[in-house]
Each structure stands twice: as structure tokens, then as C-alpha cells.
Amino acid sequence: MKIDLHVHSVAAEGVFTPAELAVKAKAGGMEIISIADNGTLQAQPEAINEFNKAGITYMPGIEFGMRYLNLDADLGVCGYNFDMKNDKLLKLLSIMEKDAIENVKLKLKILKKEGYEISEEKLKKFAEKKYPNYSDKFLGARVINDYIQDYLKANTLVWQYVEGLLVKNEVKKNHYRKCEEIMEALNAANATIVLARPGFYETEYGFSAYEVEKMVQNMISMGLDGIEVFTPRNSPFHQNYYLGLARKYNLVITAGSEYIGKKGEKELNEIEYPGWVDQQIKARLLSK
């Protein structure tokens, strides 16, 4: 069986629409899949419909970047098989949408100060043309980055300079939500909550194995159900370590590629994991 529980669509940072992903998944022999876009459910209605038509078992998903303790970093969790109409979850997503809009305004202000004035009207027209099905306000952060890259692509050094300014100011803005807030919303929606790409935290943020295990323990107390063990972000060493950690705390073990669709990236059906992962995903996620 071929499973991928961490795929991204054009509604977030991905390249393809849910319909296009369904075609690719069917061609690749995929049997269970989940689109887990960052902070948005926008792709879900189309995904449910298209994967159902393709004869592929579809599991609604969502990913959140979160702030754990006082660290403003991209620590992520994915939620699966949840109530997409839950009030607490929708309220959180509404707050995040407003934050995204504020980030866009902040970026425009920074760019204007540096001599690159881009109107919101230009961004709107760009979004409607490039993402006709996904041109709502939440796409603002993605749209402005794409627009600026196109706008400044003739001068890579200028783009790198401007991108650095934007990243610096975004981090200062502390735009990731608190771990407790995200876990509370996902629990309210009755989601199965999985820690995403844990090996990344050690390599990117310098977490020790002890610190990661303490984080897992704390998150279990908040409702953590599983760990994304088999993912390209985890080295073989990390896979073995997190496999042991998941077994130690009786957590669901998942596999996800973080597929975006860029050139040179592995295809949907190329993620590697042991065959027994299929059975426990079916037993502990699909049977929920």
C-alpha cells in the first residue's frame, strides 16, 4: 500500500490543485493520502471530492506551525480526521487569516520604504490570475512572495536582500501561534494530532534528543497522538530514534513526504517506509 499523509496543495505552499494531485496520486498508485496545508482548510472540499472520484482513500488534514515555549520557530503538527466545522478551530483559522493580512501589509510597508512600491490592487490581480481558485485574502503571504520574486527576478541579489528584510521583520512579529492554542483547537475538533518532521528540530534549532523527548512528553499531555517518523526531513538515524520514541509512548507512526510539487522533488509515491506502517495507520487513524 502507498500512503502519504503530508502533501501540500496550491492553497498553501504547493504547486498543484487538489484535482491535479488526485490525478498524480492515482497515476502513482497511491491508496491513502492527506493534504495537510499550513493553516488553511481551503483545499479540503475539492480534495474530498476529487480523491473520492479517483478511488483513493482521503483523510482531511491540516498543518500548523507553532511556537513552543518561548521559541518562535517552525515547529509543526498535523491534524487528521477532524470536524472541519468546529467553532474553536474555525475561530483560530480566522485569527490566523487576519495575522496573514497584517503580515502582507507589513511587507508592503517595508518594501515601500526600500523603494519597491507594490499596491494591494496589483497583488489582488496577480493572485486572481495565478491562483484563480485560491485567491482569497489568506493567500496574501504566498502571493506577495511569488509576486516579488517575479518582479525582482532580473536581479537575484536585490531579491535576496529584500527577502532577508521580510524574514527578519516576520520573525520579530512573532507570527506563530502558541503550541497550547493550536493543540486546544485541534482537540476541540477531535483531530488525531501528529508531530511533524521532528528530526528537523534537532538539525535546524539545535534541540538535543533529551529536549525533543521532553517536548513530546509535554505535547502528549496536551493531546499528541503520533509522530511523523518516515519523512525525507528525518535522516535514518532520526527515523530510528523517533520510531523508538513513538513505540515508547504508544504513539501513532505516520509517513509523509511534505510534497510540494517543485522540480527535482520526489514524487508522491516515492516515500519509503516499512509495510507494517500501513496497517497501524488503518487501525489507528482510518478506524477513528
In a domain, 133, yes or no: yes
Q: Would you place residue 136 in the very low, low, confident or very high pLDDT band (cuts 50, 70, 90)?
A: low
In a domain, 73, yes or no: yes
Q: Would you place residue 135 in the very low, low, confident or very high pLDDT band (cuts 50, 70, 90)?
A: low
Query: Is there a single domain that holds both residue 64 and residue 108?
Result: no
- Average pLDDT of the segment spanning 181-194: 97
- Of 102 and 138, more confident: 102
Cβ(64)–Cβ(76) below 8 Å: yes
Q: How far apart are CA 59 and CA 164, in angstroms?
A: 36
Query: Is there a single domain that holds both residue 62 and residue 136?
Result: no
Per-residue model confidence (pLDDT) at position 138: 46
Per-residue model confidence (pLDDT) at position 133: 65
| Mean of the per-residue pLDDT values of the chain | 84
Query: Is there a single domain that holds both residue 18 and residue 155?
Result: no
Last residue of a domain, one of 172, 204, 223: 172
Task: Give the closest residue to 34 by CA, choosing from 252, 274, 219, 263.
Answer: 252
Residues 246-271 pLDDT 10s: 999 999 999 999 999 887 777 787 88
Q: Would you place residue 201 in the very low, low, confident or very high pLDDT band (cuts 50, 70, 90)?
A: confident
Query: Is there a single domain that holds both residue 77 and residue 98?
Result: no
Query: Is there a single domain that holds both residue 195 and residue 265?
Result: yes
Last residue of a domain, one of 172, 202, 233: 172
**Which residue range(s) make up the domain with 46?**
3-82+191-286
Query: Is there a single domain that holds both residue 195 and residue 247?
Result: yes
Q: How far apart are CA 36 and CA 44, in angstroms?
A: 9
Centre a 10 Å sphere on the Cβ of residue 61 and count the other Cβ atoms it contains. 27
Count of structural domains within the chain = 2
Query: Is there a single domain that holds both residue 243 and residue 111?
Result: no
Query: Is there a single domain that holds both residue 15 and residue 78?
Result: yes
In a domain, 240, yes or no: yes
- Of 118 and 135, more confident: 118
Residue 123 confidence (pLDDT) above 90: no
Q: Would you place residue 70 in the very low, low, confident or very high pLDDT band (cuts 50, 70, 90)?
A: low
Per-residue model confidence (pLDDT) at position 159: 64
Residue 225 confidence (pLDDT) above 60: yes
Q: How deeply is 13 buried, as exposed, middle or buried, from its count of CB atoms within 10 A (0-12, 13-18, 19+)?
A: middle
In a domain, 183, yes or no: no
Last residue of a domain, one of 172, 207, 240: 172
Per-residue model confidence (pLDDT) at position 172: 47
Per-residue model confidence (pLDDT) at position 49: 96
CATH (domain of 230): 3.20.20.140
- Of 82 and 211, more confident: 82
In a domain, 179, yes or no: no
Q: In sequence order, which residues have a C-beta less than 8 Å from that of residue 12 and are 6 or more positions away?
A: 37, 38, 39, 40, 43, 63, 142
Query: Is there a single domain that holds both residue 102 and residue 235?
Result: no
- The backbone region for 206, taken as left when phi is positive above 0, alpha when psi lies in -120 to 50, beta otherwise, is left
Per-residue model confidence (pLDDT) at position 171: 45
Cβ(10)–Cβ(17) below 8 Å: yes
Q: Which residues pair with 177 in a beta bridge?
A: 66
Q: Would you place residue 14 in the very low, low, confident or very high pLDDT band (cuts 50, 70, 90)?
A: confident
Per-residue model confidence (pLDDT) at position 209: 79
In a domain, 114, yes or no: yes
Task: Give the closest residue to 175 by CA, choosing from 78, 96, 93, 64.
Answer: 96
Q: How far apart are CA 1 and CA 28, in angstroms?
A: 11
Query: Is there a single domain that holds both residue 214 and residue 165?
Result: no
Residue 137 confidence (pLDDT) above 70: no
Query: Is there a single domain that holds both residue 238 and residue 277?
Result: yes
Q: What is the DSSP letter of 266?
A: P
In a domain, 259, yes or no: yes
Residues 18-58 pLDDT 10s: 999 999 999 999 999 999 999 999 899 999 999 999 999 99
Task: Give the closest residue to 253 by CA, choosing from 242, 262, 263.
Answer: 242
Cα-to-chain-centroid distance, residue 119: 28
Task: Name the least confident of 96-105, 129-138, 270-279.
Answer: 129-138
